[in-house]
Amino acid sequence: MKNALLLLTSVLLTSQLYGQSLAGVESVEYDPINNRYLASSDNSSIVAIAPNGGLSYFGSGTSADYGMEVVGNTLFAIVGSTVRGYDLTTEMQVMNVSVSGAVFLNGMASNGSDKLWVTDFNARKIHEIDITNLSSPTVTQVATTGSVTPNGIVYDASNNRCLFVTWGTGTIREMSLSDYTISTVVASTGLTNIDGIDYDSDGNWFISSWSPARITKYTNDFSVSEVITVSGINNPADICYAVETDTLAIPGWNQVLFVGFESNTVGIDEELFETHEIYYNSGYPVVRFELSTAQDASFNIIDMSGRVVYTVLEGMQPAGKQTVVLSSVGLYSGNYVCRFSSKELSFTDRIVVP
């Protein structure tokens, strides 16, 4: 099995940056040229996150309200009813184009070369922007999404389409790039208010939802899904999977969470996985379990005195496989017990927090 869960770290954007608190992180993009992440901050600035977690402003007077996309040496960002381009080296603005009739531009995707696609949340439209010439980009409204509200969007080259997720009753839709028709890929995700979508190097899809607040991973054909529970997740927005480093960046509220993945699984035999297992990657405990039906469950971390120190899950859990990351939960290093209980599955196991 590829892309096993490796570890999780977080960058809390409530820290001080030159005396200013950061908040309202709506989107994040990986900049492979400079090995950094770029995050929108409070609809007023773009913040660069270094590998060591250090924060700095990107450019001077640059901003991003919602979706962003890196294409070559340019960062494209939604700012109100416009889409702007910023040079990743000089951090200067190199493009600015207005989207006629825009109401609430939200998600953005690209084909990595000459095309951008932007969703309009309120107008329920999708626009295509030709960025062949940054001095003279052209905008074309290519689709309306009917009764559904489009949010995050991503380009799927193998199927010549864009996939987008919807707010409200969360579904996954596609827009064919041959004739711009809209059709349904997953009609019932069991989620409400899906915000972002991206893919990994193996072609798996990741989506972020607000209710419940979590990441859901789908296989390439959407036939199998798996819940990834990330401790501390809050209003997960426009996610970014950096295939260069196999890392999923999850923006939301005042933080960016980073979930790392590795190319080869360590100590896991997928065929032997039945109901639950606990393993360690990079020293951090990861718990996987499977439920045959949706059911109430509780999952707590207990210290050696018997005190519950962290509640991981509580309430109705969906059927299927779940992966729970137990790093970055604010626990001191030492020995703990993880206790899971539902009508179908119960287990109590010791874990070690590094």
Indicate which CATH number applies to the domain containing 233: 2.120.10.30
Query: Which of 236, 262, 288 is a domain's end point?
Result: 262
pLDDT tens track for 2-26: 444 544 555 544 344 444 445 789 9
129: β partners: 116, 139
| 186 and 225 assigned to the same domain | yes
Tell me how far apart the alpha carbons of residues 45 and 267 are, in angstroms, rounded to a whole number. Answer: 43
| 245 and 209 assigned to the same domain | yes
216 CA to centre of own chain: 9
CATH code, domain with 349 = 2.60.40.3080
For Cα atoms 254, 106, 225, give the angle at the middle one, nearest 5 degrees: 75
Tell me how far apart the alpha carbons of residues 163 and 117 are, in angstroms, rounded to a whole number. Answer: 11
Flag whether 268 is in a domain: no
Query: What is the reported pTM?
Result: 0.84
**AA identity, residue 278:** I
- On whether the CB atoms of residues 186 and 174 are closer than 8 A, the answer is no
| 78 and 167 assigned to the same domain | yes
pLDDT value of position 274: 60
Flag whether 267 is in a domain: no
| 21 and 144 assigned to the same domain | yes
Strands (E), 103-246: 105-110, 115-120, 125-130, 138-144, 149-156, 161-167, 172-176, 182-186, 192-199, 205-211, 213-218, 225-230, 240-242
pLDDT value of position 257: 87
Query: Which of 227, 262, 297 is a domain's end point?
Result: 262
| 43 and 150 assigned to the same domain | yes
DSSP string covering 235-266: S--B-EEETTTTEEEEEETTEEEEEEEESS-S
pLDDT tens track for 181-240: 999 999 999 999 999 999 998 999 999 999 999 999 999 999 999 998 887 788 999 999
Q: Which residues constitute the domain of residue 213?
A: 4-262
| 195 and 301 assigned to the same domain | no
pLDDT tens track for 281-333: 667 788 889 998 999 999 999 998 889 998 888 999 888 889 887 765 667 88
pLDDT value of position 282: 65
What rounded mean pLDDT belongs to the chain? 87
Half-sphere exposure of 250 (CA within 13 A, CB side): 26
329-345: average pLDDT: 87
| 224 and 95 assigned to the same domain | yes
Q: pLDDT at residue 263 above 80?
A: no
Alpha-carbon dihedral angle through residues 227, 221, 185, 106, given to the nearest 10 degrees: 60
Q: Residue 174 has what DSSP assignment? A: E
| 251 and 280 assigned to the same domain | no
| 81 and 165 assigned to the same domain | yes
| Assigned token pair, 222 | 């959407």
The number of domains in the chain is 2
324: CB partners within 8 A, 6+ apart: 229, 286, 287, 288, 289, 299, 312, 313
Q: pLDDT at residue 101 above 90?
A: yes
